[in-house]
Structure formats: C-alpha cells, structure tokens
Amino acid sequence: MPYQIIVCGGLAPDPLQTLEPVFDPAKPSLKNELMLPAVFDPWAAHALYEAGHLAKQHPGTVVRVVSLAPKAKLQQVMMTVAQKMPFELVALDGPGGGFTDAAAVSAALAEAISAMADLDRSRLLLFGGWESATRGAGVVMQRVAERLGITEQFLAVDELSVDADGSLVIKERIEGGRHQISRCAAPPAMLAWATGNLPEPPNHPQTGMANMRVIMPALQKAKPVALEPAIEYLRTALPAAVRQTRVVKDVPAADIAREIAEWIRQ
C-alpha cells in the first residue's frame, strides 16, 4: 500500500561559513545571513532520504516536502536537494534560520498541510527532523502533529520498517545510547528523525530536472508567511567554547574522537 509522506524541512546556513550573530532585539540574525549559502537542514534531510527509501519500497507513495524559508534561498538549495530523489514541494515564503519561534513555524506548517486538498490522512506519514541545525528547539514536529490531530508521535527515530501486516516498527533513540522499539498499527503517524541509517543519495541531475517541473511552479506560488514574534531575545552570542574548524587528512576516526574528548575535558 502506498503512503503519503510529508517531510517538513527548513534551511540552515552552510556550516562552513562564518556564523556571527548580530543582535537586534526585534530581529536578531546572523551577519549577512541572506547572502550566505544555505543547506537543507541536515536533520530534515535524513528524514527526506528515509522517505525516499520508503517510497521506493512502496510504489505509488508520494513524497511532499513542506518548507518555510526565504523563497530565493530555497530555490538555490533545491538545485541540490531536488537531485536526490523524486518529490513535490510546498513552499512557504518566510523567514528561516535560528531566530524564528517554533510555535509560529509549526502553526504555519500545519496550516499548509491542512490545506492540501488531496491528502489521505489514513496513509499519512509526517516526517521531519527531531530538531533543527539552526536552533535545536526540538518541538516543531510535535506541535505540527498535534495541530493535525496526529497522536502517534515518535522522536529521534533511527529506523522504520513495515511489517507484512502493514504495521510500522520504529526504532527511537532514548537515553544512554539505547533504542526503544515500538510498533504502530497504522498511519497516520509522525516520525521526527535523528540520523537514520541512510547515506546521502548521490546527485542525479536528471531526477532534479524532472522534479523542477513541479518545484518551480510551487516556488513561484509560494505563500508569503509573516511569523508573529512571540519570543523576546535578550542577548545573542556564539558559544563561549569555540573550536576552530580544522580540516585534517590521514587521521583515523579513533584519533579524532580522542582529540575531541580531550578538548571537552579541558
């Protein structure tokens, strides 16, 4: 049986860029935020790759990405993301980044999903990242699910498989480096993904171009969304403990881990 998978995913600034907060109580941001190249939020990206994988196993499954982000940036990011696998896009043109309010973002996402006329909720799998790389509030997906009335919610998911009877077997991360395995009889369900198990699919321009036929019109008719500022920011700053990015070669993973552990201990 095919699923209807919706992946909620925003953008994050390219992590190799210089990220410097600029404080403005009304509108805090990163320096030159709109000029910096962005990437699809890595946590949501894992969710997207898992969705693609599931869609391949269940022919007829449609994957839709719902994204709230500045439209022009989203378009640039789609030039890479759209090459990974087939999907449709529902774009909301609004602010992205780490300073938006999780409640307002989830309301906008839920509204866009509710407005999908052809959505069969009995086959709906709502995917997203368990947190974002911009803010890491870790609450957006639960809020979207609640607003949509989806009560089966799984957080920090690393694996999803479907049993012969159609039930979903879900592996969630819990404390102490362990996993909890749950069985969910049927959709609708919300899965907020941790890293999953899949590598990033290679770029495939042909897939991208096929996707763009539906993605470009979606970007053109992206609804502008103004998020009500519900949070008051008192201060923004980089974490006090800053580690200089270092590109190394020929260093085994164990040595890298040892070095990081020593740095944390200091």
Partner 1 sequence: MASSTSASPREHLQTLPGDDIRQVMWRFADRYDLQMLVQSTRAVARGPVARLVAEGARHTHDWTAEKHALLEEFDAAGITAAYLEPEEGGFLEGPKNLALALIAFELAWVDAGAATGSLATHLGLAPIHERGTPEQRLHYMSLAAPAPGKEPKRAAFALTEPIPYVGVETGMLGGKVRIAEWPEGGEPVLEVSKRGRFITNMAFANFVTAAVDSDDPRIKGSCMVILEETDPGIFDRGTPTRKLVHQLSATNDPVFQLRVPASRIVGGYTVKDGVIIPNYDHGAIIEAVFRRTRVTVGLMTSAKLLSAIEPLIRYHRDRFRGSEAVSPGSPRYELGLQQKEDVTHRVIDIWAAGEASASLGFAAARLFDQLDPVEREKDRVLAAQGVHGGLAAVKALRKRQHEALEFIEMQAHSAALRGEERFERLAHDPVIQYIVLDAQANVLCPATKLWNTGHGSVMMREAVSLMGGYGITEDCPGFLGYKWMDSQLEATYEGPEAVQRRQLSLTMTNEVFLAQFRSWIHEMRQIASIEPGTGACTLASAMHLWQWTLNHLLHAADSHGQKLYQSNRQGVTFPMADALCWLLAARSLILDVEHLRRHGAEVIQQGFQGAVQFFTDLCHVQAARAAGEAARICTELVFGYLRHPSWDDDPQCATCSFNEPELRQIESVVPGASGFTGDYLRDDGAHETKAGPCVRAPGLTDFSRLRSKLDGCLAGALLAKDRAAESVQKVMIPAALDYPQ
Pick from 1, 25, 58, 79 the residue near partner 1 by CB under 8 A. Answer: 79
CB 117 within 8 A of CB 238: no
CA dist., res. 248 & res. 219, Å (int): 39
CA dist., res. 48 & res. 84, Å (int): 9
Q: Tell me the residue type at 196.
A: G
Nearer to partner 1, 181 or 206 (CB): 206
In the region spanning residues 202 to 261, those forming contacts with partner 1, defined by CB under 8 A, are: 202-206, 208-209, 212, 216, 245-247, 249-250
252 SS3 class: coil
Nearer to partner 1, 76 or 161 (CB): 76
Residue whose pair of structure tokens reads 């800053």 in the numeric block: 242
In the region spanning residues 19 to 48, those forming contacts with partner 1, defined by CB under 8 A, are: 19-20, 31-37
Structure tokens at 9: 């995913």
The verdict on 83 binding partner 1 (CB under 8 A) reads: yes
Q: How many residues does the chain have?
A: 266
CB 206 within 8 A of CB 84: no
Residue whose pair of structure tokens reads 């973002």 in the numeric block: 105
Nearer to partner 1, 40 or 127 (CB): 40
**Using CB under 8 A as the criterion, what x/- string covers residues 114-143 for binding partner 1?**
------------------------------
Q: Which residues bind partner 1 (CB under 8 A)?
A: 14, 16-20, 31-37, 70, 72-73, 76, 79-80, 82-83, 202-206, 208-209, 212, 216, 245-247, 249-250
